[in-house]
Amino acid sequence: MSGTLAEGGKTIVLNGVCMESGSGRAVAPASRVTGDDRRRIGEVRDYLRSRSDSDAVADALPVNAPLEMVEAVTANCAVDHVGCLVFCPDIQAVRSHLRDLGFRLARPSSGGLVRDRLAARYGVPETRLKSGCLDVKAIQAQFPDDMSRGVELFCVDPGDELDALALRDERVAQHENHLAVRLTDPALLEEVRVALGRPGGPRADGGGYDPGHGEIGATVLHFRADGRTELGWPRRLGVIASGRHTETLLRHFAAETAPREAEEEDRRLMRRLTGAWATQALRAMAELDLSDHLAERPLTCAELANLTGVDADRLHRLLRALCHPWIGALTPSGRAAFALTDLGRRLSRDAPNSMHHLARVYGDLFYTSFEALTEGIRDGAQPFTSVYGQAPFDYLTDHSHQRHLFTRAMAEGSAFFADVATVVDLSDAAIVADIGGGNGELLAQLCDTHPHLKCALLERPEVIGAARDNLDARGHLDRCTFFPGSFTDSAHMPVGADVYILARILHDWDDEKCLSILRAIRAAATTESTLLVIERPLSDDPSAPCVSALWDLNMLVNNVGGRERTRDEYRGLLGKAGFTVIGERPLRLDISVTVARVHETPESEILPG
């Protein structure tokens, strides 16, 4: 409840009603039309007094609108009013001010169309509208010496669902200012609509049937053009036709929707087509360590150029692109500085769940190999091998720098490891063996959660060192045994573990190799062993969207024979190798843990020859 004490404490204004102190009787309302609203009303009044019909229409249409378009409006219409929004809930105060200016007033009516536009513009929920908030009243007022022209004011309570930011935007931008013309012959509404819809004209911008216009109501079509008038108003034109013109109104709405949908479709396609630019911008951000430089505080371009040793102008162009919503890694901070967004912070080397190395690998090694995707599909060649001359793992073995980046990137891409211990019960397990366990991060996470576990890790000899260092740094080295070798050879496989884990291994290989890996584990396992297969399965419904479909394309390009598989396909491989699926546990980003147990069937019936 708001209150104002006036006239020596004798009159109090409560919620827009003036009450006499001590008596409780309502008295004439005190004017609450602010100086800013008085200025707005004065502007529209003076505008109407100083503009001819043709000048006013030219103001509302595009700057270079075809002459025949302007003539189509002015020949069939006359200026009816200029509208604006004022921020005063006291309708009587506004009407009193208009009378003081010499206007003749019509009865106030609902401003439902304006209310709906305000609600859409500032996100006022439909439920709040239904409860009666954001009430807008319209006041029509004519000049006494020219009843064909007037002003239309839309009155809204500035405290009614509009926050300070919305009010400031509305006051500055004056979105609701418009010129309205009235058709001399309402039957010509469709003709005028078509004329305004021609190339070079304004775009459709809403409208509706307003029962408050005249005795039979009126159909109003709104149009908007780019830019602003000399007074800073938006170029908006309303065309009024007496009566209800449903068919024309529906065509107007269709014309409004079609360009927006087409433009949105264009933007969606352009975002995808320029995705390569975003990838390279993020890679450059990682290569230049911008996230690390910005980790503590925002910096200017000049400061970042000094820290990175690059040209300031070129760097500024990168920083500006990284601020674009399609990338969203940076945000302006103040007039000249740049700050990290949460997304950009993930590219810092030391950030939790960092993707610094992933950005570099996806923007370099894998980016280049994807250039041969079309040839790989059309000609059956392996894209990575076509580009680099070697199969992926052979190439990484021979190129230590890329191998280091790849290993770090794969570790960053395994943030879901932390979730495994929470979705799988290992309380009864004594020994867990990670087959192809990389740098040992999954075992480290499991050891953090389960102090009783003993662990085994099988990996290629050149990777074992990184796993040993990681587990040593985490304080778990004394609980782990390392098995250098191939996971397709049962001779290298840890024997008798309670739980075997294959985390993102099977998708690297064709079916034959997968069966060799699974059978090697089956030969080393006991009848009580459990197998956990961690993969990103494709949906069994090919029409269902899933991240796995993109990773399957990546496997086609950057792997020889590897692929993502459906749950049924994994179940089939496990069954052939001697395992039965007993459950599944979901992880983030469409990854899941498939839980399998050894078949009870005698081994001789499962493992051929």
Confidence category of residue 165, pLDDT binned at 50, 70, 90: low
Q: How far apart are CA 435 and CA 437, in angstroms?
A: 5
Quote the mean pLDDT of the chain: 86
Predicted local confidence at residue 25, as pLDDT: 39
Residue 270 burial (10 A CB sphere; 0-12, 13-18, 19+) = exposed
List, for residues 370-395, the tens digit of each pLDDT value.
999 999 999 999 999 999 999 998 99
Could you give the CA distance from residue 457 to residue 191 in angstroms, rounded to a whole number? 79
Tell me: the pLDDT tens digits for 12-25?
Answer: 333 333 444 444 43
Question: Is the model more confident about 566 or about 65?
Answer: 566
Percent of the chain with pLDDT over 70: 90
| Cα 92 from Cα 101, distance rounded (Å) | 14
| 175 to 118, 233, 237, 463: CA distances (angstroms) | 9, 8, 12, 63
Residues 258-283: pLDDT tens digits? Answer: 776 666 788 888 999 999 999 999 99
H or E, element range at 258:
helix 246-273
Which stretches of 427-578 are assigned E, i.e. beta strand?
431-435, 454-459, 480-484, 499-503, 530-535
Cβ atoms 88, 252 nearer than 8 A: no
Q: Rounded mean pLDDT of 513-538?
A: 95
Decide: 4 and 30 in contact? Cβ < 8 Å: yes
Distance (Å, whole) CA 520 – CA 484: 15
Element (H, E) at 152: strand 146-156
Residue 466 pLDDT > 60: yes
Instruction: Determine the average pLDDT of the residues in 245-256.
Output: 90
Question: Between residues 438 and 347, which one has the greater pLDDT?
Answer: 347
Residue 507 falls in the annotated catalytic set: yes
Mean pLDDT, residues 81-88 taken together: 89
The answer to whether residue 159 scores a pLDDT higher than 70 is no
Q: How is residue 386 written in tokens?
A: 């076509």
Q: Long-range CB contacts (< 8 A, 24+ apart) of 225-234?
A: 225/60, 225/61, 225/62, 225/63, 225/65, 225/201, 226/62, 227/62, 227/63, 229/59, 229/60, 230/59, 231/43, 231/47, 232/174, 233/59, 233/174, 233/177, 233/178, 234/173, 234/174, 234/175, 234/177, 234/178
Q: Look at residue 312 in the predicted model and tell me its pLDDT.
A: 96
State the pLDDT confidence band at 363, using cuts at 50, 70 and 90: very high
Active-site pick, 81, 213, 357, 507: 507
| pLDDT of amino acid 198 | 87
Answer yes or no: is pLDDT of 50 > 50: yes
Structural domains of the chain ordered from first start: 1-30 (no CATH), 34-263 (3.10.180.10), 275-363 (1.10.10.10), 413-605 (3.40.50.150)
Position 436 confidence tier, pLDDT thresholds 50, 70, 90: very high
Provide the whole-model pTM.
0.60
Which residue blocks in 86-177 are alpha helix, DSSP H?
Answer: 91-100, 112-122, 126-130, 164-173
pLDDT tens sequence across 126-154: 777 777 677 888 888 888 888 788 898 98
162-171, 221-230, 337-346, 432-441: which has the minimum mean pLDDT? 162-171
Q: How many CB atoms lie within 10 A of CB 28?
A: 10
121 exposure class (CB count in 10 Å sphere: 0-12, 13-18, 19+): middle
